[in-house]
């Protein structure tokens, strides 16, 4: 039998009557100024700031009663593509405090406007994350995700699905890992639910919220609860945006003193969207890798910078600092070579040039790359941070496989596994093929030459992050 999560705040935060609710939501959506809408949503209006503004895939909206925050929230919904087929809603918990994140466990999410199917595919992906549990009790009386659903029902085309994810006390990177899973699915949007400051005097709230907004726009370190009641999901979105190269944009900001009149104790509201990069990514290192491989076919030395060799020319200032990088070659989406360094023992330019040639000609899993293949190959250069040892929670027993799987952050952590003479590493990109921590660790064991279902407390694990750049054919 399918289960339904029934509305908890209908008739309180928003009208319980379907007709009244539809009219209020439509009025709020229609009131959003044309100049801030995505280009394809306007009625001939122009936007001097972003003349070709596309739809956004990630937005943040407040979650108070509609009379207080609905006008601001509407700015966020109008940034989404009406054809969006799936929405991940991340909101804080007001009634039941938790550590980690919680799914509803319901097959349907109900509002006075009808029922929305809970997306099964995304739910399954999220449920496999180590910090996600299924807890209907957390959602039963929670409003932070519910209040957004009537807006989505009136704005998005019928048939879309949702996944409400309650976010408790958790590190930003953990939330970012959940966002990444949704982001990698087609036609999927991210909706962060958060108000700003609570119950300050009007002028004090404006000053406090202004500082918080500047922090969000700067992508600065994690927010705290006094700044926003959705500090944890917002901080996770900020971490994801930093890793993905998304830039935040403020759409609207006001407080309940602006909408309800009482200036003595107000709640702050703001709406944001996150924009994807519009300029091409830096391809300096991938081009360096390409040129180094190409020079081998002409009998030249490994190129370190344009026109110079590792033996004679030296590296430019940008490549002179020690660095460690992996160079990955793919043909038609299939791996064709991957060699790299885990420690920074030589200038980054030399490391990229040498590893590019090694990936092309010395990877024992593949024949040497041909000149014709090079012209069609995609090249990715991943520059590594310094690996950090994963310390066991109980030093007397060493690392357990369970704690390694729980502490790895899917999509962000690369890992090095060492056991005596056995060693293997996976870049963070491998999470795209092995999204579950158990499978990731099993593959890492196999790569190190060890049984995939075996573990020993003497195994050592280090984690690192990468900054990747690509040259795509």
pLDDT digits (tens, 9 = 90+) for 219-258: 888 999 999 999 999 999 999 999 888 999 999 999 999 9
Q: Tell me the average pLDDT across 158-168.
A: 98
Higher pLDDT pick, 34 / 335: 335
- HEC string for the chain: CCCEECCCCECCCECCCHHHHHHHHHHHHHCCCHHHCCHHHCCCCCCCCCCCCCCCCEEEECCCCHHHHHHHHHHHHCCCCCCCCEEEEEEECCCCCCECEEECCCCEEEECCEEEEECHHHHHHHHCCCCEEECHHHHHCCCCCHHHHHHHHHHCCCCCEEEEEEECECCHHHHHHHHHHHHCCCCEEEEEECCCCEEECHHHHHHHHHHHHHHHHHCCCCCCCCCCCCHHHHHHHHHHHHHHCCEEEEEEEEEHHHHCCCCCCEEEEEEEEEECCCCCCCCHHHHHHHHHHHHHHCCCCCEEECCEECCCCCCCHHHHCECCEEEEEEECCEEEEEEECCCCCCEHHHHHHHHHHHHHHCCCCCCCCCHHHHHHCEEEEEEECCCEECCCCCCCCCCCHHHHHHHCCCCCCEEEEEECCEEEEECHHHHHCCCCHHHHHHHHHHHCCCCCCCCCCCCEEEEECEEEEEECC
Q: Tell me the average pLDDT across 100-113.
A: 98
Distance, in Å, from the CA atom of 318 to the CA atom of 349, rounded to the nearest integer, reads 8
Question: In the structure, what pLDDT confidence band is assigned to residue 261 with cuts at 50, 70 and 90?
Answer: confident
Higher pLDDT pick, 172 / 393: 172
Burial class (CB within 10 angstroms; exposed 0-12, middle 13-18, buried 19+) of 290: buried
Question: In the structure, what pLDDT confidence band is assigned to residue 310 with cuts at 50, 70 and 90?
Answer: very low
Spatial CA neighbour of 359 closest among 349, 369, 372: 369
List of domains in the chain: 4-275 (3.40.830.10), 284-384 (3.30.700.20), 388-466 (3.30.1490.150)
Q: State the pLDDT at residue 282.
A: 75
In this prediction the pTM is: 0.70
Q: State the pLDDT at residue 220.
A: 85
The string of pLDDT tens digits covering residues 11-45 is 999 999 999 999 999 999 999 988 789 965 555 44
**Range from 87-91, 275-279, 378-382 carrying the lowest mean pLDDT:** 275-279
Question: In the structure, what pLDDT confidence band is assigned to residue 467 with cuts at 50, 70 and 90?
Answer: confident
Report the alpha-carbon angle 102-108-112, nearest 5: 110
Q: State the pLDDT at residue 283.
A: 85
Q: State the pLDDT at residue 421.
A: 97
Q: State the pLDDT at residue 280.
A: 64
Q: State the pLDDT at residue 435.
A: 82
Distances (CA, A) of 448 to 258, 364, 415, 436: 61, 15, 12, 19
Is residue 298 predicted with pLDDT exceeding 90?
no
End-to-end CA separation in angstroms for the chain: 50
Is residue 49 predicted with pLDDT exceeding 60?
no
- The total of other beta-carbon atoms located within 10 Å of residue 248's CB is 19
Spatial CA neighbour of 308 closest among 283, 284, 288: 288
| Residues forming beta bridges with residue 253, ordered by sequence position | 270
Q: Tell me the average pLDDT across 442-455.
A: 97
| Residues forming beta bridges with residue 250, ordered by sequence position | 272
**Range from 60-69, 82-91, 297-306, 393-402 carrying the lowest mean pLDDT:** 297-306
All residues at 6 or more sequence positions from 394 whose CB lies less than 8 Å from its CB, including other chains: none
Q: Tell me the average pLDDT across 139-146.
A: 98
Distance, in Å, from the CA atom of 350 to the CA atom of 337, rounded to the nearest integer, reads 18
Q: State the pLDDT at residue 48.
A: 35
Is residue 314 predicted with pLDDT exceeding 60?
no
Question: In the structure, what pLDDT confidence band is assigned to residue 311 with cuts at 50, 70 and 90?
Answer: very low
Q: Tell me the average pLDDT across 317-342.
A: 90
Q: State the pLDDT at residue 432.
A: 81
**Range from 117-126, 168-177, 214-223, 405-414 carrying the lowest mean pLDDT:** 405-414
CB 10 within 8 A of CB 113: no
CB 188 within 8 A of CB 243: no
Is residue 60 predicted with pLDDT exceeding 60?
yes
The string of pLDDT tens digits covering residues 366-393 is 999 999 999 999 999 999 988 999 999 8
Average pLDDT along the chain: 91
Q: State the pLDDT at residue 40.
A: 59
All residues at 6 or more sequence positions from 262 whose CB lies less than 8 Å from its CB, including other chains: 256
Question: In the structure, what pLDDT confidence band is assigned to residue 152 with cuts at 50, 70 and 90?
Answer: very high
CB 163 within 8 A of CB 31: no
The string of pLDDT tens digits covering residues 190-215 is 999 999 999 999 989 998 999 999 99
Q: State the pLDDT at residue 468.
A: 85
Q: State the pLDDT at residue 315.
A: 40
Distance, in Å, from the CA atom of 65 to the CA atom of 72, rounded to the nearest integer, reads 11
Phi-psi region of 337 (alpha: psi -120 to 50; beta: other; left: phi over 0): left
């Amino acid at each position: 039998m399918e289960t339904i999560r029934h509305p908890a705040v209908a008739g309180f935060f928003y009208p319980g009557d379907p007709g009244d609710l539809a009219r209020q939501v439509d009025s709020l959506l229609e009131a959003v100024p044309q100049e801030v809408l995505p280009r394809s949503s306007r009625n001939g209006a122009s936007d001097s700031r972003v003349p070709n503004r596309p739809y956004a895939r990630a937005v943040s909206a407040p979650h108070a009663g509609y009379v207080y925050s609905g006008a601001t929230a509407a700015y966020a919904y109008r940034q989404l593509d009406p054809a969006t087929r799936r929405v991940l809603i991340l909101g804080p918990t007001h009634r039941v405090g938790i550590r980690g994140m919680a799914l509803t466990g319901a097959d349907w999410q109900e509002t006075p406007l009808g029922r929305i199917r809970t997306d099964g595919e995304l739910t399954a992906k999220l449920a496999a994350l180590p910090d996600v549990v299924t807890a209907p009790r957390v959602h039963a009386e929670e409003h932070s995700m519910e209040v957004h659903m009537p807006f989505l029902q009136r704005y998005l085309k019928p048939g879309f699905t949702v996944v409400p994810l309650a976010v408790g006390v958790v590190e930003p990177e953990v939330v970012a890992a959940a966002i990444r899973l949704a982001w990698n699915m087609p036609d999927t949007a991210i909706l962060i639910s958060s108000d700003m400051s609570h119950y300050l005097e009007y002028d004090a709230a404006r000053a406090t919220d202004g500082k918080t907004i500047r922090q969000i726009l700067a992508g600065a370190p994690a927010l705290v609860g006094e700044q926003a009641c959705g500090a944890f999901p917002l901080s996770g979105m900020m971490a994801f945006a930093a890793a993905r190269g998304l830039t935040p944009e403020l759409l609207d900001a006001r407080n309940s003193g602006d909408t309800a009149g009482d200036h003595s104790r107000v709640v702050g509201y703001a709406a944001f969207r996150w924009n994807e990069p519009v300029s091409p990514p830096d391809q300096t290192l991938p081009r360096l890798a390409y040129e180094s491989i190409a020079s081998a076919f002409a009998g030249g030395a490994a190129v370190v910078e344009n026109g110079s060799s590792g033996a004679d020319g030296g590296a430019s200032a940008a490549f002179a600092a020690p660095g460690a990088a992996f160079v990955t070659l793919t043909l038609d989406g299939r791996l064709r070579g991957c060699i790299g360094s885990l420690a920074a023992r030589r200038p980054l330019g030399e490391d990229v040039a040498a590893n590019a040639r090694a990936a092309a000609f010395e990877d024992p899993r593949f024949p040497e790359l041909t000149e014709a293949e090079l012209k069609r190959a995609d090249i990715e250069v991943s520059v590594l941070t310094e690996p950090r040892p994963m310390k066991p929670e109980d030093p007397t027993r060493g690392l357990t496989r369970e704690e390694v799987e729980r502490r790895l952050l899917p999509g962000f952590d690369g890992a090095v596994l060492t056991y005596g003479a056995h060693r293997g590493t996976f870049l963070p990109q491998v999470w795209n093929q092995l999204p579950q921590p158990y499978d990731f660790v099993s593959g890492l064991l196999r790569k190190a030459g060890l049984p995939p279902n075996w573990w020993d407390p003497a195994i050592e694990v280090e984690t690192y992050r990468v900054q990747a750049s690509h040259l795509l054919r």
